[in-house]
Structure 1
Amino acid sequence: MKIKKTENINEKDIVAIDVYDCTGKILVKQSTQVTNSTIKKLKDYNIPFIYIKDDSFFVSYIFDLTDIAELLKVLWYFVQSQGQNSEILKRYNIDEIKMFAEYNNEVASQIAYGHIFKFFISKLYEKAKNSKEKCYDFIDYRNNENYLYFHSVNVAAISILIGIDMGLQEKDIIDLGVGALLYDLSMNLYKFIEQKRTLDTIEKEEMQQHVFLGYDVARNIYGISASSALIAYQHHERNNGSGYPKKLKSEEISLLSKIVAVADVYDALISNRPFRKAYNSDEAWNYILDNSGILFDEKVVVSFKKIIPKFLPGDIVELNNGKRAIVIKNNFGKSEQPVIKLFEKNDKDDIILKDDVSVLNKNFFIIRVVETIK
């Protein structure tokens, strides 16, 4: 399958995977043939791109996207109700959750949400643990309006994969995933960060308070461990002591927080924000590696490098010989060596694939990404 901008899809295209919004609502189901009404719906929901069937491209999304959509739904209800309405949780066939959701008061809701967050993170962990292919190059359907929800879920996904690669125990990975899911939810309180301008000093100081608020949110959810909550408090600390709120260094920062710090920064950089355009995949990837041992823990970055490829399927790249190629597929453990093909464009600006180019060949290497879809 390949990624395609909504503005460029046509009625011949077949949807490769479900398209869902930040509330977990399925907008277009897998295997649907695109129609004009499909295109209108995608534009109405501000979906920037979709994945269409194309055997020439391969995207590794590892996780069950039904679980991802359901987790988005739960997270959205949690944020909208400030954790005080657990009505939606009655649908899940888990006796303990249904029992507390039935009461639907603040205390019972906090207990129910605590269980359901761990339930879904456990499902993501099981899927990732049993996946032979750990290269993760899936881009979700986020936009500026729904960034927080997609960002939180994707940071949790990346963190789980890094934790598995680093050999963490299951309990620690569940704590890691839950903490990564909840750590940034208090950011929705700061509406000024959605403005198309640089924050002033007072706003930056106010925004930095989100680490305290996030910690409180996590600690108030029944069953969420201190290790998970600490992620909210420490995810902006940096290896060299340049972070906040305590300017902690290296060993003073928990390993789980170090993992989320890397996942958080990478995912934020590849996202369009009101105040800047998204970094290309290679730029964000280079930023993480360039700051290994400086801002970020070296061991975490080693695992990040294996799991997150430098280039994403569909990226158009420039080669050292001046020609351009398109990324077809990534390979686990070879994050800088994707399968690429030369191409040409027809009069409709459609890409016509041509010859394979092996980046393992010493005569060819990728200089940079020149065009990407986000």
Structure 2
Amino acid sequence: MRLISINILKEGMVVGRTIWNEAGHPLLHKDVVVTSRIVERLQELKIQYLYIEDKFSSGIIVEETITPAKRLQAVKNITKSFNEVKKAKSTQASYVLDQQSKVISHIVDDIMNAVLDSEDVLMILTDAYLYDEYLYHHSFQVTMYSIATAKELGYSYDDLRLIGIGAMLHDVGKLLIPTEILNKPGKLTPEEFEVVKQHSRHGFDLLRNLHSVSLLVAHCAFQHHERSDGSGYPRGLIDFEIHPFAKIIAIADVFDALTSTRSYRKKMLPSEALKIIEEGRGIQFDERVFDAFKRSIVHYANGTVIQLNNGNRGIVSKQNLIDSTRPWLRIFEKNEDLLLATYEICLSDYPELEIVKIETDFVAFTE
């Protein structure tokens, strides 16, 4: 399979992975031959990337850490629980959340078990799913990223569970923000942004008095927008004042926001988002946490075409468990000429080689 931009999708290409809709039904099946109408429809839905099957990438396997079926069921349960809280009057919201806490804990347990059972770096394919409610999928993804990072940092099983619950509920305060502001297409006014920023305190207030949830979970909601240099909100805390769990969730939260399509901007690829966050390493974000996060996730997804500093092109064929920044590549082109026979290399074995470009728009002259 090969990851391509929607910009080069054309009739006759073969879909490599199923795309699912909000209800968990397949919108576009694997192995379907692309038509002009399919191209138009995917553009209307603002899909940016998808996988295709072609001769360059034959046999390259792309698998998520959690299967689509388990992911969709988890998001469905998150949606149901959060909607119960959303429907409640503000004075009853904490009580309803307390009632839903057991369901939320079970979801976190399932995610945690999947991450702990996986020996590979974490992979999430956000463009394999279409959804209207960003909050629910965001909560799922931030939980996965946070647990994977905490696992890399060596936290105990009990702490992993607390971090997972904190991540799942880090944005629960947004349920109390007016929908017209939260889902506004386009840039928020300064006044609207001040309203949105209140979600951290709303989340803390919802969670701090729950009998079923640790107070640490409430502080995850309260502090996930704080930054080590004091530039965050709501209290402008500095490094030692921010709880270690919140430092983990902060990075996971920003990374998922950058790698998700929103109404007001396009998504970034993982390696692009990491570069943005790395600019704040040791300034806004904890160095040790960022380094663990970086080791925990896929930088270049399987099937991604990349260009090397020697001019060769290759496709990421599998991940490198020792260094996720140096994956295995299937080299298929040298000096703009397609090879008659491809060959595989691991970038860790070639320190002189560097990835200089991701080419989701790559089109071979034979295509």
TM-score by length of 1: 0.77
* 1:211 alignment partner, one of 200, 218, 225: 200
Would you say 1:57 and 2:57 are equivalent positions?
no
Query: What does residue 82 of structure 2 align with?
Result: 79
Cα offset, 1:142, TM superposition: 4.8
Aligned equivalents of 2:181 and 2:95: distance in 1?
33
SS in 2 for 1:311: coil
Query: What does residue 34 of structure 1 align with?
Result: 32
Query: What does residue 137 of structure 1 align with?
Result: 123
Structure 2 unaligned regions, length at least 5:
334-339, 363-367
What's the CA shift string for 1:169-220, capped at 9, x where partnerless? 2222111111211212443635345445433322222221111122234446
Does the Cα contact within 8 Å between 1:193 and 1:199 map onto a contact in 2? Answer: no
Cα offset, 1:75, TM superposition: 1.5
Matches for 1:1-374 after TM superposition, within 5 Å:
2-3=2-3, 8=9, 13=14, 19-23=19-23, 25-27=24-26, 33-34=31-32, 46=45, 48=47, 56-82=59-85, 110-133=97-120, 135-140=121-126, 141-142=128-129, 145-187=132-174, 189-190=177-178, 191-192=180-181, 194-219=183-208, 223-343=212-332, 354-359=342-347, 360-371=349-360
Change in Cα spacing, 1:280 to 1:130, as seen in structure 2 (3 Å) is: closer
Question: What RMSD in Å do the two structures reach over aligned CA positions?
Answer: 3.7
Aligned equivalents of 1:176 and 1:78: distance in 2?
19
Change in Cα spacing, 1:113 to 1:9, as seen in structure 2 (3 Å) is: farther
Identity %: 26
How many residues end up aligned between the 2 structures?
343
SS in 2 for 1:340: strand
SS in 1 for 2:254: helix
Query: What does residue 337 of structure 2 align with?
Result: none
Does the Cα contact within 8 Å between 1:83 and 1:113 map onto a contact in 2? Answer: no
Cα offset, 1:335, TM superposition: 2.0
Does the Cα contact within 8 Å between 2:123 and 2:301 map onto a contact in 1? Answer: yes
Amino acid at match of 1:174: R
Cα offset, 1:161, TM superposition: 0.7
Aligned equivalents of 2:360 and 2:6: distance in 1?
16
**Residues 151-160 or 297-306, more deviating:** 297-306
Aligned equivalents of 1:72 and 1:219: distance in 2?
24
Change in Cα spacing, 1:171 to 1:343, as seen in structure 2 (3 Å) is: same
What's the CA shift string for 1:224-252, capped at 9, x where partnerless? 22111211110000111111111111121
**Residues 51-60 or 183-192, more deviating:** 51-60
Does the Cα contact within 8 Å between 1:315 and 1:372 map onto a contact in 2? Answer: no
Aligned equivalents of 1:14 and 1:60: distance in 2?
15
What's the CA shift string for 1:119-155, capped at 9, x where partnerless? 121122122222222x112212355733222211111
Change in Cα spacing, 1:240 to 1:3, as seen in structure 2 (3 Å) is: same
Aligned equivalents of 1:222 and 1:47: distance in 2?
42
Aligned equivalents of 1:353 and 1:256: distance in 2?
49
Does the Cα contact within 8 Å between 2:207 and 2:217 map onto a contact in 1? Answer: yes
Does the Cα contact within 8 Å between 2:3 and 2:360 map onto a contact in 1? Answer: no
SS in 1 for 2:85: coil
Aligned equivalents of 2:305 and 2:34: distance in 1?
28
Change in Cα spacing, 1:122 to 1:361, as seen in structure 2 (3 Å) is: same
Cα offset, 1:266, TM superposition: 1.0
Aligned equivalents of 1:76 and 1:178: distance in 2?
15
Aligned equivalents of 1:33 and 1:371: distance in 2?
20
Does the Cα contact within 8 Å between 2:173 and 2:204 map onto a contact in 1? Answer: no
Cα offset, 1:254, TM superposition: 0.8
Change in Cα spacing, 1:217 to 1:139, as seen in structure 2 (3 Å) is: farther
Does the Cα contact within 8 Å between 2:3 and 2:305 map onto a contact in 1? Answer: no
Aligned equivalents of 2:277 and 2:212: distance in 1?
33
Amino acid at match of 2:241: E
Amino acid at match of 1:63: I
**Residues 190-199 or 7-16, more deviating:** 7-16
**Residues 305-314 or 219-228, more deviating:** 219-228
Structure 1 unaligned regions, length at least 5:
86-104, 345-351
Where relative contact order (Cα < 8 A, 6+ residues apart) is larger, the structure is 2
SS in 1 for 2:165: helix
